[in-house]
Amino acid sequence: MTGPSIGGLGTTEDRLETGLLNLWYLVADATEIGNRPVGLKRLNRDIVLWRDANGAVNLVEDRCPHRGARLSRGRIIDGRIACAYHGLQLDGDGVITVTPPTPDCPLVGQKAIRAFPCREFNGGIWVYFADDAHQAPDEMILPEEFASQDWSSFLFSQTWNCNYRFVLDNRLDPMHGSYLHAASYTLAYGNKQDRLLIEKTERGFVVRRENQIGVNIDRTELFHYPDNNIWIQTEIPYPASGGGGFFRIGGFVTPIDRNSCVFWVYRSQKSAGWRRNLWRFLYRNRLEARHLDVLDQDRDMLETIYADAQDQEMLLQTDVGITRMRRLLEDIAQAQLTASKVA
């Protein structure tokens, strides 16, 4: 499916396939970034991350402005990234600070490559990928459980070999839990047929089952803060043998390129005292492995879906959340391309 071309800037489908701009994205686990350059591909862009002398994370495009070598092949000197090819050094703003082959070079002090706003929060490195009109973004908006001491969380990530939109579709599809995960520990209950209701909220929409609640993946909510963040939240019930109650999944997905992505999951529970200690103990010793089995089922399924599946789909009533989300993303992509044309 392709959208209209906007002034030679590609189509809505081009933008959708590689990731919407003007949003905060999780790009790395904070523990993976130290005082050595780390090269990654995110939103089909090559980037490099490192920590400076103060421990702050820096992120610039992975390209030396001198001859185009990858900065991720270099090293860190006094908090700056140094190219391995000819030793040029750049700071976290993409400004050239040292040119060893020609020390009096007029390039020193010039901003030569693109830098990206980044934040370290709750175990993750978040980056704002912007168009030219949004270079100074607002501070990122995140789920309540990230900021409240009432919640305890675990972060998990995994690379999936499919377009990121397949993951979003899967997250807005409550009914698949009763089939794909029917033998799992937490989702082996509930009806295999239902009608889905969709309700608009102030910051997105809710999809829920009409005939059951608190049994399986019965309620899923999409949050959208324009020019800031998008995430999908689900609450999953635990059997009594797992301590009972619920845990909340805050799901984020970051495109790598057109055919792969990183799926990020924060599993959180609102609890205190011995109940929190019990949940964290059970999670590490028993529940985490079972959650990973469920994710592996999702990953294995999504990686086998045909890349052009959307062109031939015959959707059901229970796909109402998917169609609503797709329309939202297409509207954002079209607006971004139109704004780029005007700029």
Strand order in the sheet with 246-257: 151-160, 260-270, 246-257, 229-237, 219-225, 204-209, 196-201
Helices and strands, counts by H and E, the chain: 6, 17
Indicate the domain borders of the chain: 23-129, 144-334
Q: Output the pLDDT for position 217.
A: 80
Q: What is the mean pLDDT of the chain?
A: 90
pLDDT digits over 120-155, tens only? 998 999 999 998 778 789 999 999 888 788 999 999
| Predicted TM-score of the model (pTM) | 0.91
The span from the CA of 107 to the CA of 89, in Å, is: 11
CA atoms within a 13 Å half-sphere pointing along the CA-CB vector of 287: 24
**Sequence letter at residue 9:** L
Query: What is the H or E stretch that residue 338 is in?
Result: helix 320-342
The span from the CA of 274 to the CA of 271, in Å, is: 9
Coil vs helix vs strand at 170: helix
Q: Output the pLDDT for position 242.
A: 60
Q: To which CATH superfamily is domain 23-129 assigned? A: Rieske [2Fe-2S] iron-sulphur domain (2.102.10.10)
Task: Tell me yes or no: is domain 144-334 CATH 3.90.380.10.
Answer: yes
Read off the tokens for 205: 């929409």
Question: Which is it for strands 151-160 and 124-129: parallel, antiparallel or unpaired?
Answer: unpaired
Mean pLDDT of the 212-217 span: 79
Question: Which is it for strands 23-29 and 38-42: parallel, antiparallel or unpaired?
Answer: unpaired
pLDDT digits over 76-127, tens only? 999 999 999 999 999 999 999 999 999 989 999 999 999 999 999 989 999 9
Residue 336 has pLDDT above 80, yes or no: yes
State the DSSP code for 285. I
